Amino acid sequence: LNGVSKWILEALCQNQGSLEYRSLNAQLSKHFTVAEETMRTIFFDNNSFAIEEGKEKASGAEIISPDSIIVAKTSARLCQNKTCQGCDNFHLCRYYVCGGCTFKDKCKNSHDLRSPQNAKILEKCDLQGLTEKQIFQLLLQNDPFLLPEICAHYNKGDGESGSCKFNTTCTKLHMCLHFLKGDCTFGLVCKRYHAIGAQGMKLFKQYSNENITGLYKIYRNKLIIQDQKPRPAPGEYHSCVSESDREEICLFFVRRNCQYNERCVRVHWHLPYKWQMWEGESMTWKNMDDMENIEKAYCDPANAMSRTDEQIFRVLTLQRFVPLVDFIKMIYRGSPVRRLSTASSVSHPPHYILTTEWLWYWRDDGGAWVEYGQDGTGDAQASLSSQTLENIYLADKNGDIEFIAGSQKYKLYFKGGHGLQMYQQNLRYNTIREVRRRPRFVSAHDVEAKLSSSSSQSTVVTVPSNWDKKALPEIGYKACALHLTKIWRRIVTALFTPTMPQRRITILIIESVIKEDSNLPNGYKVVRKHLFHGTDKSLVEAICEQNFDWRMCGVHGTAYGKGSYFARDASYSHKFAAGPRSKVMFVALVLVGDYTKGQSQYVRPPAKGRGTALYDSCVDHVTDPSIFVIFEKHQIYPEYIIKYT
């Protein structure tokens, strides 16, 4: 653990093992100034802390909601044998840890936390700096053998003791599990105990009064640790990276040309899909075997479970049962499963290869799955297509959409209900049909064929009229030098030089960036500006290939929001053009649209008034803006590169 992590661990143990994030953060800020990325690494390290998400929303740059509970964790345990040699657990008296050992110095079990055996465990678990009281607090809420177990049978059934048959002789705690978790909705009318009665207190005879007083919180902490949901491995977290980015395969890497390399926030994988299973012991996502067959089964909407030729063969030959992936619950052998994929095909231009094409199906009366927009068996064709549904779904995954098929009106619900993931409902008869969204299957062979085929790159791309069409690359980009006689060189020079110190600047070359996805959106009366962005020379190729992404390109400030910064004046961007001799600056064509003054906590532009529409960008001064913050890549086109000394 680093210094900040140790301080947090001590603070939690000093406060009965847990604190609300707002309280912990207030105390922490008095001692440390911690970067957001460091905080994220600390709190999402499953070996040190568990988190119960609160109901409030995290605002601005906060990584956790203020009312979330942070609980201290440890892998340290008490040895149950106490006579073993070379053990990896503490050799301590259980009742000494619980605070109620009556034998004191005469106890046959150790009361020495600093003995050679225990000192080894303290060092291994990085607990040397904690006091004895703090370590015992950690053990109480982490070691499953120190607290009486909550009776599961008592919390089921309608009898006075639930379904527990032992009643007064039960060695487990009879208490409302939901009350201890803090989510019992029955309150005073709950038929389960919300307090430890005389019978329950017999289980705590050898516990100190202080620990008995704090039992509710100790149990609450223990349950939070037990209920902690799987999280991706720490290395998969990246500052200010959305969950969708972390679960999206890098399209450029699949196409063998991601220039960001290890800086890339997306997943690098050779296929446009990836199946993984959560491994609880190592707390990481592990790649699944037979990935292509799982994908092939998943692409068939009729399959609720994975099926492969090998599995069918085993069934026919009466061999042992082979576990299947449950596509509805997304589990395998009881563990969570996830499918990563490239971006949806509707979010990129048609000539982009290896995006994921999602198809939408509904189930007819005969049990057959029919794609939307296609003719069903005896049913009228729906007015929606897969492409239309995909666009609507990506805009609001929790929403719904009304449509017409023949003379009937339907509503399609994207968020599950009625035991289904998605469904459509007839608005007249209230009948319900299951809906499934599945990708079009692409094999590993298909991927190689698409990559090697020139036909996949032959789509005509519209480019500005001033470009040399012969220079247009088949894939990626090409930088073409602008000659001194070219009018565009004179225009770019005129944009660049006015605010730069004339005596010290020599333009070496101006290049025009020609890309396959060259056009910004048209059809709207949106304000466009040529703006400057200084950067390191090592990032030029990546920016030309994959556009600006501030999470990978570096930060030019956060005063007006967390996004890509562009300047009206070249002199401002000159500060960020790194290089001992020659420097590099982009002239980008930017859709600034409607803008408002930015704030440091913004991760996207704010809403316009009370409506749902957002501003397009943020600026330093609304009346005379010189700095523009852009949050979406599709608003930016890196049009020119200026290399100068």
> Has residue 388 been placed in a domain?
yes
Domain encompassing residue 195: 167-226
Query: For residue range 408-428, what is the model confidence (pLDDT) as tens digits?
Result: 899 999 876 545 578 999 999
Query: For residue range 336-371, what is the model confidence (pLDDT) as tens digits?
Result: 999 999 999 987 767 778 999 999 999 988 899 999
Dihedral pair phi/psi, residue 452, rounded to 5°? -90, -15
> Has residue 129 been placed in a domain?
no
Q: Are residues 431 and 482 in the same domain?
A: no
CA dihedral 358, 364, 366, 369 (to 10 degrees): 0
| Dist. CA 191–CA 622, nearest whole Å | 61
Minimum mean pLDDT among 144-158, 299-313, 435-449: which range? 299-313
Q: Are residues 544 and 632 in the same domain?
A: yes
Kind and range of the H or E run holding 425: strand 422-426
Q: Are residues 504 and 633 in the same domain?
A: yes
Q: Are residues 429 and 293 in the same domain?
A: no
Q: Provide the pLDDT for residue 87.
A: 81
Minimum mean pLDDT among 18-22, 55-59, 62-66, 447-451: which range? 55-59
Q: Are residues 279 and 222 in the same domain?
A: no
| More confident site: 412 or 559 | 412
Dihedral pair phi/psi, residue 492, rounded to 5°? -65, -40
| Dist. CA 148–CA 392, nearest whole Å | 51
Query: For residue range 585-627, what is the model confidence (pLDDT) as tens digits?
Result: 898 989 898 899 998 888 888 888 766 678 889 999 999 999 9
| Dist. CA 380–CA 365, nearest whole Å | 13
> What's the pLDDT band for 64 if we cut at 50, 70, 90?
confident
| Dist. CA 531–CA 617, nearest whole Å | 13
Q: Are residues 511 and 556 in the same domain?
A: yes
Q: Which of 27, 57, 72 is the last residue of a domain?
A: 72
Q: 599: closest CA among 637, 644, 629?
A: 629
**Lookup: tokens for 183:** 């989510």
pLDDT at 267 > cutoff 70? yes
> Has residue 94 been placed in a domain?
no
Strand segments, DSSP code E, in 195-347 are 273-279, 284-287, 331-332, 335-341
The CATH code of the domain that includes 288 is: 3.30.720
Q: Are residues 517 and 620 in the same domain?
A: yes
Q: Which of 423, 439, 455 is the last residue of a domain?
A: 439
Q: Provide the pLDDT for residue 213.
A: 92
Percent share of the chain, pLDDT over 70: 77
> What's the pLDDT band for 508 if we cut at 50, 70, 90?
low
Kind and range of the H or E run holding 528: strand 528-535
Q: Which of 205, 226, 247 is the last residue of a domain?
A: 226
> Has residue 282 been placed in a domain?
yes
| Dist. CA 483–CA 112, nearest whole Å | 81
Q: What letters, b where the CB count within 10 A reaches 16 and e where it falls short, cover 227-242? A: ebeebbeeeebbbbee
Report in angstroms the alpha-carbon separations of 80 from 74, 88, 107, 144, 445.
17, 11, 16, 11, 55
Q: Which amino acid is at 105?
A: D
Q: Are residues 606 and 622 in the same domain?
A: yes
pLDDT at 442 > cutoff 90? yes
Q: Are residues 413 and 516 in the same domain?
A: no
Average pLDDT score over the chain: 80
The whole-number average pLDDT for the span 555-581 is 81
> Has residue 146 been placed in a domain?
no
> Has residue 130 been placed in a domain?
no
The whole-number average pLDDT for the span 199-226 is 93
Q: What is the radius of gyration, based on Cα positions, of the chain? A: 31
Q: Are residues 435 and 574 in the same domain?
A: no
Q: 71: closest CA among 8, 25, 146, 127?
A: 8
Helix axes 132-142, 3-14, angle to 10 degrees: 80
Q: Provide the pLDDT for residue 62.
A: 62
Report in angstroms the alpha-carbon separations of 564 from 92, 205, 230.
56, 62, 32
Q: Are residues 200 and 332 in the same domain?
A: no
Q: Provide the pLDDT for residue 83.
A: 67
Q: Provide the pLDDT for residue 209.
A: 93
Helix (H, G, I), strand (E, B) or coil at 391: helix
> Has residue 91 been placed in a domain?
no
> Has residue 247 been placed in a domain?
yes
- Classify strands 507-515 and 636-644 as parallel, antiparallel or unpaired: antiparallel
| Dist. CA 424–CA 410, nearest whole Å | 6
**Lookup: tokens for 67:** 């009312």
Q: Which amino acid is at 137?
A: Q
Q: Are residues 531 and 593 in the same domain?
A: yes
The whole-number average pLDDT for the span 228-251 is 55
Total domains in the fold of the chain: 5
The CATH code of the domain that includes 415 is: 3.30.720.50
